[in-house]
Structure formats: C-alpha cells, structure tokens
Amino acid sequence: MKSVTNRIFKDRLLKTGIIVLSGLSCVPLLLILGEMLLKGWKQLSWSFLTQSTPTSLEAMLAVNSGERIPGGIANGIVGTLIMVLIATAIAVPIGLLCGIYLSEHRKTRFATTVRFLTELLQGTPSIIIGIIAYLWMVVPMKTHSALAGAIALSIMMLPLIVRSTEETLYLLPASLKEAALALGSSYRSMVIKVLLPALGASMIQWDPTRPSSAVSLLIWQFYNDPNLNSMIWSASLFLLLFVLLLNITAKQISKKWRI
C-alpha cells in the first residue's frame, strides 16, 4: 500500500510541476498583451480600420493638443489583403499539384530531390526571401509593389503548402483511394472529388500568421517616425487580435470538417 501512496504523491508532484511550468510559459504572452492593451487601446476604433495612415504632421498636431491621432491602418490592411490574395493565387495551385505528385511518387529520385529542395526553401529565413524579391522585383521595376511582396510571400507559402499537402495525403487511409478507384473512378476524379476535399478538411488549420506583412510594414514605419510611435501599439494590438480571430475561425472550421 505504501508504494501506491508514494506513486500517487509523485503523480501529484509531476502534475503540479506541469501546471506551474505551463502557466509560466503564458506569462510573456500575457505581459505583451497587457502592454499592447494599455498603450494601444485608446487608438483602436472603427476609423482605425477604415482610414489610412496620417502624415507625420497631422500626428504631431494631434499629440501636441492631447487628442487621439487621426487616421488608421486601412492602407496596411488593404495592402495585406491584396498581397495575400495574389500570393495565394500563385502558391496554392503550384503547391497542391507538387504535393499531390510527391505523395503519389514518394520514392522516385525526382520526388526526393523536389522534397529536399522544398525543405531547404522552408528553412530559408524570410529575410533572405525578402531580399531576393527586392533584388529581382523592386530594383528592376524601380518601385515597391504589392506584387513584389506577394511573390516573396508566395515563395514562403509554397513549401508549407507542398509539405502539408504531401503529409496529409499520405496520411489519408489508402482505403479511401481504393474505395474511389474500386467504384470505377478515374485517377483524376479520385484526386479532385475524394482526396482534395479530405485534404481541405484536414488542412484548414494551416498557419495563418504569416500573411500579415503589410501591417507589419506599417508598424515598422510607425516605429521610425517618432510622431507616429503611439500607433505602434494599436497596430500591433490589431494584428494580434486579427491572428487570434483567424486561428479561432480555422479551429472552428476544422473541428466541423474534421475527418
């Protein structure tokens, strides 16, 4: 009997340890959140989402007279949306096809090479991809553009899509494929009508945090302009809330559709 109480005690100890430690890991997040809420709350309003960034002068005047800084980050939000749309339009079809190919021909030399290269791309720091896009797009075209950003973004998305397509397809039971083919389905309609929907259902929890870059860019701009400094917090707060919302939505959808 003694050993049982002993084990229960150890068990409790471990549980308490786990709870304390996981509580600790939340502390930085809560601190950051608190700071953002305190400093950014004032600025957050409907017009913050619908108006574009104020000039440095406008901001300075408002700060001096103790008012709320006018304007918001609408240009950043619209920029983000455009970029994400273009990037998705480029990366999703290529990534899907590539992922399907890799999962169907796992062992050929070509597939191994492609897989290795996508892994490499996934490991490439985003700053490098950004610089490349800058050199290839922005410099020759002599202007910053959503397109350049979108291409950089799509290059970052590509390996993610390829890998998750391949992994998810590979994990789908072979019986699903066989069931479709045993009904006389062609390979193509099996992929389109059975594999892709199943893939969509299990891949929706795909990481939505990356595509917030245009807003991030604005934050950088706010940081570099002392008059706009106080908008950093509200923009960050917005970004955080937005990512939170995306995550929750994705979780809800994938819960509803999970296989």
Give which of 164, 159, 153, 88 is closest to 117, Cα–Cα: 159
Indicate whether 101 belongs to the interface with another protein (CB under 8 A).
no
Considering only residues 240-259, where is the footprint of another protein by CB under 8 A? 257, 259
Q: Give the range of 9-17, 76-84, 147-155, 197-205 binding another protein by CB under 8 A.
A: 197-205
Closest alpha carbon to 43 in 18, 71, 75: 71
Residue 190 interacting with another protein (CB under 8 A)? yes
From candidates 186, 209, 249, 252, binder to another protein by CB under 8 A = 186
For residue 209, which amino acid is it? Answer: T
Q: With binding defined as CB under 8 A, does residue 182 bind another protein?
A: yes
Taking CB under 8 A as the criterion, the residue among 12, 15, 193, 255 binding another protein is: 193
The reply on whether position 102 binds another protein by CB under 8 A is no
| Beta carbon of residue 132, minimum distance to another protein (angstroms, whole number) | 38
The binder of another protein chosen from 183, 244, 245, 248 (CB under 8 A)? 183
- Can you state the angle between helices 146-171 and 196-203, rounded to 10 degrees? 110
Q: Which stretch binds another protein (CB under 8 A): 50-58, 73-81, 111-119, 173-181?
A: 173-181
113 binds another protein, rule: CB under 8 A: no
Stretch that binds another protein, among 49-57, 131-139, 142-150, 178-186 (CB under 8 A): 178-186
Q: Least separation, in Å, of the C-beta of 178 and another protein?
A: 7
For residues 105 and 170, the answer to whether their CB atoms sit within 8 Å is no
Give the DSSP H or E segment for 42. none
Comparison of 9 and 187: residue with beta carbon closer to another protein: 187
**Residue 252 contacts residue 208 (beta carbons within 8 Å):** no
Residues with Cβ < 8 Å from 210, sequence gap 6 or more? 126, 153, 156, 157
The CB-of-190 to another protein minimum distance in angstroms stands at 7
Q: How many other C-beta atoms can be found within 10 angstroms of the C-beta atom of residue 64?
A: 9
CA 176 to chain centre: 30
C-beta of residue 194 within 8 angstroms of C-beta of residue 176: yes
Give the SS3 label for residue 183. Answer: coil
Q: Which stretch binds another protein (CB under 8 A): 46-54, 138-146, 195-203, 229-237?
A: 195-203
Count of residues near another protein by CB under 8 A: 22
Neighbouring C-beta atoms of residue 234, cutoff 10 Å: 24
- 30 DSSP assignment: H
Q: Which residues bind another protein (CB under 8 A)?
A: 173, 175-176, 178-186, 189-190, 193-194, 197-198, 200-201, 257, 259
